[in-house]
Chains A and B, each alone.
Chain A
Amino acid sequence: MTARDFAIRYGFLLLLLGMVGLFGWLQPGFLTVPSAVFILQSVAITGILALGVTCTLVVGGFDLSIGAVATSALMLAAYVMVVWEMGALAAVGLCLLMGAGVGLVNGLLIVKMRVPDLLATLGMMFVLIGLQRIPTEGNSIATGMALPGGGVAQGTFSPAFLALGRYRLWDVVPLSVVFLLLVAVLVWVFLELTRHGRLMYAIGSNAQAAALAGTNVGAYRIGAYVISGTLAALGGILLAARLGRGDVASGNNLLLDSVAAALIGFAVLGASRPNAFGTAVGALFVGILLQGLTMLNAPYYTQDFVKGAVLVVALVFTFALTGRGARARA
């Protein structure tokens, strides 16, 4: 293994370890359990969204609507419980159904109507951003709010629902982190160990070859968007459970943060392709960096800058280093 191969494979993980070491040295409070838990909790929702978008990247697509799906799920959950006064189970079920439905529509637009993926999901993003505010005329949803048709909303967030965002196993590990780990493992197993995942990678690499090998390319493409939509809705549910109200302004950064995590994932272990493990590491990387900077009292507005810089460095890792390697092999 040459020095470059080593750098491509382990460079990003070493960078991650180095960063943890540096923050721990500068700020002793960094290397503690509460700090670690906080980091995990902060990346849980973007991580779940990022794992969904990873599935669409695998089939050579892209889902720009995940952020909007998540906030729509947030609003829908709040509406179901506060206005319709239904329970946690109904809220979760309807949200997941909504996410899967949006994914299905995205997939159909892209596969059957042949709308390019970026445009279809961008359009869907706008539709959802508008749609989620129509029932409440643009207001946030909370118990006691005035309804457009007159009257006051009487329902409350059910405690079971709130527990999704707030309960901690053994008083330490938040439930949302457990969800992240579960989703990460499931997506990893699906993409790496099943034939469906393998065929999805084939589609992303050469869709024509996959089709002529007898693969139902359209179905897998649609499936990827359904997975993406469903996971985005799950993220929205967790966000709603953490906030405890249907806040129209929350979730602004979800799309960009999760896309960044998925793209950073390309660089992990020199994969040069979307992959579940890399996406999880990418999300963690961004979380650690932000937590470290916050503990060092860096001002909030440096955060986006730092995230952007990390993304660019990761993309350089992926494309410049491995690209040069590929040319030398040819």
Chain B
Amino acid sequence: MTGAAIRIEGLTKAFGPNRVLRGIDLDLPAGAVTVLMGANGAGKSTLVKVLCGVHRADGGRVLLEGRPFAPASPAEALRAGVVTVHQAIDEGVVPDLDVASNLLLDRIADGSVGVASARRLRAAARPLAEAVGLAADLGAPVRDLPLADRQLVAIARAMAHRPRLLILDEPTSSLSEAEARRLFGLIDRLRAQGVALLYISHRMGDIRRLADRVVAMRDGVIAGLFEERPLDTAGALRAMLGRDLGEAELEPAAGGRPVLEARGLVLRPGARPFDLVAREGEVIAVTGLVGAGKGTLAGVLFGTERPAGGDLRLDGAPFAPASPAEAVGRGVFLVPRDRRRNALVPDWDIGRNLTLPFLHRHAAGPFLRPRSETALGRRMVEEMGVVCQGVRDGIGTLSGGNQQKVVVGRWLAEPCRLLVLDEPFQGVDIRARRDIGARLRETAAARATLVLVSEVDEAAEIADRILVMAGHTIVAEHVNRALDLGAVMREAAEAAA
């Protein structure tokens, strides 16, 4: 460690009456990975936005290598060497341009690369791609790249600025294991080059693998700084939550009569057929790496994809939904992955987002009944524990965890036979995750519940049974009692290889 690249002193920021940052003091040393933890609403994103020039601080100051640093715009922060890779990867790339143009975008924008042939552009871009280990075709449009490569493009572009501070905001949330490992290798190299890294993540695996120091934020202040080895992650968690969380204890239930029965289900041509029975009252977690086929399973059950073969039955009757509407009609509900893209209506308030799927319940003929809507909104906000002023709050004012409570709550409003949740804990802080998990188990009695997660510890937190998926088939099954999570993880990884 070569001293503080960034020193933050007494930083404050308020939005109206809401004091989001209440005096942050923090050093970010060069050549070290500082992991920033905090429940949603703790002020992490605001801190990042001040550092990368989106917001201006109200008080306090930031020193970048000893000089005052108060960027008025993201471009200014970038020029000063503070580079941010956002969680939403597509904010960092231009999907329709090819890889080479994306890598050189900032130079094209500032005019130092003018009109050039495609070949010359590719030649200029190649070193940038190699520096981050990006193996993609430089002439391919970025939209055709897998997510992980798109993220590498964003990072490679950032590297062209010779960053002094690189901020990574939940960079692994949509990466597979192998892709994440490649990213970690890159982070190790940057650390060796003396870059200060600020890494925001909820994932314990990432934190154990990368962190030199862990900083916990709570309610707009630094609640704890941990830099002694071995890192006290439990202490950091406590500091972030302000209380002891304890392990979620659950008694696995056996389940009642079968709700969903799959016989010889083939998710895609060439995949091994498998059987699956989901019983009433049972919560089943299906875990596996990204690309293992969990998403396809969700799509088949909800009518957005067709299986390649096999037989599905719901309560004994044949079940082959051709559309989400048909699946919902049969009592199969899906909480989709990626709530921003697939679930939220961003212009709407909490109440309207809650009533979206069952709007006909709040209508007499075609006409809506606002009172019925508000009543349901209030009930679900209460039951799910959504932290808000009221059902009229815009959905965008909520933290990620509370948004997810709304998205889950929308489907808990009506009874169903089978509830499928696809990556319900993505971008959800640990406290909200426990709340949602507890609510799912409380309501599980009258239906079968299928939770698709790539994190094994999330599966262990909520499920009675854990199925391991790889190569679009189920490779192992465990009852969730005294499980060796490491072994389950290895099963998923090895079956995929």
> CB within 8 Å of B: which residues of A?
193-196, 198-199, 201-202, 205-206, 208-216, 272-273, 326, 328-330
Nearest CB of chain B from residue A239's CB, rounded to whole Å: 31
B345-A212 in contact (CB<8A): no
> CB within 8 Å of A: which residues of B?
15-16, 302, 304, 323-325, 327-329, 334, 336, 341-348, 352, 356-357, 359-360, 362-363, 366-368, 394, 396-397, 410
Residues of B contacting A211 in the complex (Cβ-Cβ under 8 angstroms): 324
Chain A at the B interface: SS class: helix
Residues of A contacting B341 in the complex (Cβ-Cβ under 8 angstroms): 206, 208-209
Residues of A contacting B410 in the complex (Cβ-Cβ under 8 angstroms): 213
A214: contacting residue among B15, B328, B397, CB under 8 A = B328
B325-A215 in contact (CB<8A): yes
5 contacts between A and B (CB under 8 A): A194-B366, A205-B346, A205-B348, A212-B324, A214-B323
A210-B356 in contact (CB<8A): yes
A212-B15 in contact (CB<8A): no
Residues of B contacting A273 in the complex (Cβ-Cβ under 8 angstroms): 347
B356-A202 in contact (CB<8A): yes
A330-B324 in contact (CB<8A): no
Nearest CB of chain B from residue A57's CB, rounded to whole Å: 13
A213 (CB) vs chain B CBs: closest residue? B357
B359-A199 in contact (CB<8A): yes
A196 (CB) vs chain B CBs: closest residue? B366
Name the residue in A201, A202, A205, A206 with the highest tally of chain B Cβ atoms < 10 Å from its Cβ.
A206
Residues of B contacting A209 in the complex (Cβ-Cβ under 8 angstroms): 341-345, 356
- In the A-B complex, the 6 residue pairs with the closest CB atoms: A213-B357, A214-B328, A194-B366, A195-B359, A214-B325, A195-B363
Nearest CB of chain A from residue B412's CB, rounded to whole Å: 14
B368-A195 in contact (CB<8A): yes
A210 with B325: in contact, given A198-B352, A330-B396 (CB under 8 Å)? no
Nearest CB of chain B from residue A43's CB, rounded to whole Å: 28
Q: How far is the CA of A199 from the CA of B343 in the complex (A)?
A: 13
Residues of B contacting A208 in the complex (Cβ-Cβ under 8 angstroms): 341-342
Q: How far is the CA of A208 from the CA of B323 in the complex (A)?
A: 13
Nearest CB of chain A from residue B275's CB, rounded to whole Å: 27
Q: How far is the CA of A193 from the CA of B366 in the complex (A)?
A: 8
Q: How far is the CA of A208 from the CA of B346 in the complex (A)?
A: 12
A194-B324 in contact (CB<8A): no
Residues of A contacting B334 in the complex (Cβ-Cβ under 8 angstroms): 212
A212 with B343: in contact, given A194-B363, A194-B366, A329-B15 (CB under 8 Å)? yes
Name the residue in B304, B325, B329 with the highest tally of chain A Cβ atoms < 10 Å from its Cβ.
B325
A210-B345 in contact (CB<8A): yes
B368-A198 in contact (CB<8A): yes
Residues of B contacting A330 in the complex (Cβ-Cβ under 8 angstroms): 396
A201 with B324: in contact, given A193-B367, A209-B342, A209-B356 (CB under 8 Å)? no
Q: How far is the CA of A93 from the CA of B302 in the complex (A)?
A: 42
Nearest CB of chain B from residue A308's CB, rounded to whole Å: 27
Q: How far is the CA of A198 from the CA of B366 in the complex (A)?
A: 10
19 new A-B contacts at CB < 8 Å, known A206-B345, A209-B344: A193-B368, A194-B363, A194-B368, A195-B363, A201-B345, A201-B348, A202-B345, A206-B344, A208-B341, A209-B345, A212-B304, A212-B324, A212-B334, A214-B329, A215-B325, A216-B323, A328-B15, A329-B15, A329-B396
B49 (CB) vs chain A CBs: closest residue? A330
Q: How far is the CA of A52 from the CA of B368 in the complex (A)?
A: 22
A213 with B366: in contact, given A198-B352, A205-B348 (CB under 8 Å)? no
Nearest CB of chain B from residue A302's CB, rounded to whole Å: 37
Name the residue in A199, A215, A216 with the highest tally of chain B Cβ atoms < 10 Å from its Cβ.
A215
A213: contacting residue among B324, B347, B397, CB under 8 A = B324
Nearest CB of chain A from residue B86's CB, rounded to whole Å: 13
Q: How far is the CA of A205 from the CA of B347 in the complex (A)?
A: 7
Q: How far is the CA of A211 from the CA of B336 in the complex (A)?
A: 11
Q: How far is the CA of A206 from the CA of B323 in the complex (A)?
A: 18
B357 (CB) vs chain A CBs: closest residue? A213
Nearest CB of chain B from residue A207's CB, rounded to whole Å: 10
Name the residue in A205, A206, A214 with the highest tally of chain B Cβ atoms < 10 Å from its Cβ.
A214
B326 (CB) vs chain A CBs: closest residue? A214
Q: How far is the CA of A202 from the CA of B345 in the complex (A)?
A: 6
Nearest CB of chain B from residue A189's CB, rounded to whole Å: 8
